[in-house]
Amino acid sequence: MTTSGERMPFSVYLLSMCNAYMFIGASMLITVSALIGFELASDKRLTTLPLALQFFAIMCSSVPASYIMGRWGRKIGFLLAGSIGVIGAAVAIWSILNAHFYGYCVATICFGIFSGFGNYYRFTAAEVVSTANKSTAISLVMAGGVIAAFIGPNLANWSSAIFASHQFAGPFVVLMGVYLLSMFTIAFADLPVRMSAEVVDRSQIRPLAELVMQPIFIVAVICQMLGYGAMNFVMSSTPLAMEANQYAMSDTATVIQWHVVAMFAPSFFTGYLIQRISIVPVLFCGALLGFVSIAINLLAPISVANFVIALIALGVSWNFLFVGGTTLLTDAYRPEEKSRAQGANDLMVFSTVTLTALTTGTVHHLFGWYMVNILAIPMLLIPLFAIVWLWRSNNHLATNSLN
């Protein structure tokens, strides 16, 4: 449902499908990547290096992806990303069949580049609707990830039988098909093309430093950056914690499945909540749910049920902080500034996600599951303080405007 009663463009639904394909792949990789790293790496401290390289590639490709799509259009960028993803899946299959750890690392870099482009699905949706319906369009695109929750981990589990002696190679055969399907889908979308030089008034584009120093920009980035970072830090370590407690692959797949459901199912109403109660309460609830997840992991007995409950709370926390932060960010720039603003945002967000992915394996290996959760607490405190500060600032401005 849209606020103004206008019909949601068909391209938004196609973008939602493509976002679903991207997170089908991501949830498959979450399920198996740390386990592949543990199997292939001679030094077990490098277990999560492939996952970290994936996020590092997202970080490094975020700004180039924004400028490539700004120059040649969104569709060209998404098709290029799909091609790179297909190559990465082929490299992953070869690497696993030949027990080549660093070959698999190269493959995850390709997956990261694909996601670096794919993360702009949400911004693209905001560009094909009216201003009043931005939060709804962003939420709808993110809601496509619900499909990933039910398909991704189960595909990883089912496809592990494709190669009898290499259980981790099969998922990447499926992943190759997912990337091809993504390219086929986006080809039918009517997406914004690059702005011509005649349309863009360069004198109206503010310096990047001025853009990123806006309070609204800072809070938007903090909520996405540390909300995603805390979620990734705990989530990436969960398969390792479950394996250490001798749970089966099917149990891990179940936990990841419900985590991904919780990440994306709220998107069916997050946009409506933002319009109904405003963005600050949604962000605040997101931060609080992150603390609920950490508390369960630290205080509740270890069991599959408690892993599920904690990861559900963590998923909803991520959704409120990420969708809310993305929506907040779209109010911080003009249309002609979108490439540099979105690129800077995703660079900062995925720098943090990369750092958490790189360190969580080492922290888990050296200090254990409980320390992983303890170190996630400061990552949630900072957004909480930023949200309270934004709320107080808004109230102060509202009071001054009435006086």
pLDDT digits (tens, 9 = 90+) for 162-177: 776 777 788 888 899 9
Q: Which range, of 221-230, 256-265, 277-286, 311-320, averages the lowest pLDDT?
A: 256-265
* Residue entry with tokens 């496509």: 144
Asked if the model's pLDDT at residue 381 lies above 90, the reply is yes
CB atoms within 10 A of CB 401: 7
Asked if the model's pLDDT at residue 41 lies above 70, the reply is yes
Instruction: Give the global pTM.
Output: 0.76
- Encoded tokens for 275: 């319009």
Asked if the model's pLDDT at residue 290 lies above 70, the reply is yes
Task: For CA atoms 64, 70, 74, 77, give the dihedral sign.
Answer: negative
Please indicate, yes or no, if residue 3 is contained in any of the structural domains. no
- What's the pLDDT tens digit per position in 184-234? 999 998 887 754 444 455 666 788 888 888 989 999 999 999 999 999 999
pLDDT for res 25: 85
pLDDT for res 318: 95
Please indicate, yes or no, if residue 296 is contained in any of the structural domains. yes
**Residue 348: its H or E element:** helix 338-367
pLDDT for res 118: 92
SS3 category, 332: coil
Asked if the model's pLDDT at residue 28 lies above 70, the reply is yes
Please indicate, yes or no, if residue 2 is contained in any of the structural domains. no
Q: Which range, of 293-297, 326-330, 355-359, averages the lowest pLDDT?
A: 355-359
pLDDT for res 372: 94
Please indicate, yes or no, if residue 1 is contained in any of the structural domains. no
Show Cβ contacts of residue 318 under 8 Å, excluding neighbours closer than 6 positions: 227, 228, 231, 263, 286
Whole-angstrom Cα distance, residue 100 to residue 357?
21
Q: What is the mean pLDDT of residues 90-98?
A: 91
Average pLDDT of the residues of the chain? 85
Please indicate, yes or no, if residue 200 is contained in any of the structural domains. no
Per DSSP (E only), the strands in 171-239 are none
Give the CATH number of the domain where residue 128 resides. 1.20.1250.20
pLDDT for res 396: 54
pLDDT for res 197: 43
pLDDT for res 371: 95
Residues 105/47, Cβ–Cβ less than 8 Å: no
Residues 52/108, Cβ–Cβ less than 8 Å: no
When mean pLDDT is compared over 134-138, 143-147, 290-294, the highest value belongs to 290-294
Please indicate, yes or no, if residue 201 is contained in any of the structural domains. no
Write out the residue range of the structural domain in which residue 288 sits: 10-193+206-398
Whole-angstrom Cα distance, residue 360 to residue 149?
23
- What's the pLDDT tens digit per position in 238-268? 988 898 888 887 788 788 888 988 988 888 8
pLDDT for res 228: 93
Please indicate, yes or no, if residue 169 is contained in any of the structural domains. yes
- Higher model confidence: residue 388 or residue 30? 388
pLDDT for res 3: 52
Please indicate, yes or no, if residue 199 is contained in any of the structural domains. no
CB atoms within 10 A of CB 227: 31
Q: What is the mean pLDDT of residues 358-373?
A: 88
- Encoded tokens for 89: 């899946």
pLDDT for res 46: 78
Number of domains in the chain: 1
SS3 category, 130: coil
When mean pLDDT is compared over 32-41, 146-155, 186-195, 255-264, the highest value belongs to 255-264
